Amino acid sequence: MLSQASDSGRRIGGHIMTLFLFTKSDFLTTLLPVTLFALANAPRPHATRILDITLWIWIHILKFDISNQIQDPEEDKRNKPDRPLPAGRITAQNAADVRWLLVPICLMFSAMYGRQTLASSVCFEALSIWYNEFGGHKAGLSKNILTAAGYTCLEAGATIVAGSSPCLDSISARAVAFSCAVFATTLHAQDFKDEEGDRFIGRRTLVTLFPTFVRISMMIGVRLWSLCLSRLWNVDLICSVTFIAYGAVVGGRFMIYRTASADKQSCKLYSLWFALAHLLPGYWRFFYST
């Protein structure tokens, strides 16, 4: 009896680890920034809903990542062998079954928080299908646009989950719009760390197509967005200078240091910059909102 319970516990733990590994690479780039954004952006956030916010975001990311990783498991065998499919933790068919099982779960979970959250979930699903089924992940610019649009759906839905209102107010809507613009124009930061593997398999990204231009765009773009966001949210002088200086360091690294290991570190620093940018609407609400 005890051994059966122990075996069941190990199997359940193994399944949970498998789901975690599908989304592991998105914790710093998506889960953390969007959670922070939702808490900072909601008009009257509920601290008791942190678990709700995190779970809502995570199951949507999980659904997307499973669909994405099913597309080309052979690539992951070379570049990311610890992912569930190349590691043999789950079959492609079982992964597909989980992916489609998550669709009604996401919709029912979203419906609990109102029509706008449900609409965000539906739009995210539509964009996920377009991205994964029709090749949005293969072309440079379309990848940025589709990913930014999906990110916007996550941020809008999570903001409503975090707050007490079933819809976005004008400040929340502005924050979501600017976040989408920032992400669309700097998203390729995440492609630098995979440049070697993408070139090997012939994947077309902005980094592989225009390597020098996108490094220049990061050097200039992160600095300009740091300045623009500081002004937009009326950040005080000391915090503005600090944020802009950090943005200059992050953007400059992409231009100066070009090895694979340096690009991985630059991507981590970019993720932190992006997370900090997500907190700025909360700064405005704390100091200026009435």
Q: Which amino acid is at 88?
A: G
pLDDT at 201: 66
Encoded tokens for 254: 């992409």
Distance between CA atoms of residues 216 and 183, nearest Å: 16
Can you tell me the mean pLDDT for 111-118? 94
pLDDT of residue 73: 76
When pLDDT is cut at 50, 70 and 90, the band that residue 6 belongs to is: low
DSSP H helices, 163-210, are: 170-186, 195-201, 206-209
CA atoms within 13 A on the CB side of 192: 31
Higher pLDDT, 171 or 289: 171
Q: If you write DSSP's letter for every residue of 20-77 in order, what string do you get?
A: HHHHGGGIIIIIHHHHHHHHHHSSS--GGGHHHHHHHHHHHHHHHHHHHHHH-HHHHH
Could you tell me if residue 88 is left (phi over 0), alpha (psi between -120 and 50 degrees) or otherwise beta? left
Please state, for a pLDDT cut of 90, what percent of the chain lies above it. Answer: 60
Within 10 angstroms of residue 176's Cβ, the number of other Cβ atoms is: 22
Count CA atoms closer than 13 A to 224's CA, side-chain side: 11
Does residue 26 carry a pLDDT above 60? yes
| Mean of all residue pLDDT scores within the chain | 88
Residue 28 predicted with pLDDT over 90:
no
- Given a cut of 80, whether residue 3 has pLDDT beyond it is no
At residue 141, the pLDDT reads 56
More confident position, 244 or 7:
244
pLDDT in tens, 159-210: 999 988 888 999 999 999 999 999 989 988 888 877 776 676 667 777 878 8
pLDDT, tens digit (0-9, with 9 covering 90-100), for 10-19? 888 888 999 9
What's the pTM value of the predicted model, to 2 decimals? 0.87
Residue with the bigger pLDDT between 286 and 198: it is: 286
- Residue 240: pLDDT above 90? yes
For the record, the structure tokens of 25 come out as 């690479």
H helices present in the chain, as ranges: 2-23, 32-41, 50-71, 73-79, 84-87, 92-111, 115-133, 140-162, 170-186, 195-201, 206-209, 211-232, 237-256, 260-288
| pLDDT at position 100 over 60 | yes
In the numeric block, the tokens 């952006």 are attached to: 41
Q: Which CATH superfamily groups domain 1-168?
A: UbiA prenyltransferase (1.10.357.140)
pLDDT in the model for residue 134: 64
- Which conformational region is residue 90 in: left (phi greater than 0), alpha (psi within -120 to 50 degrees), or beta? beta
Q: What is the pLDDT of residue 5?
A: 57
The pLDDT of 237-241, averaged and rounded, is 96
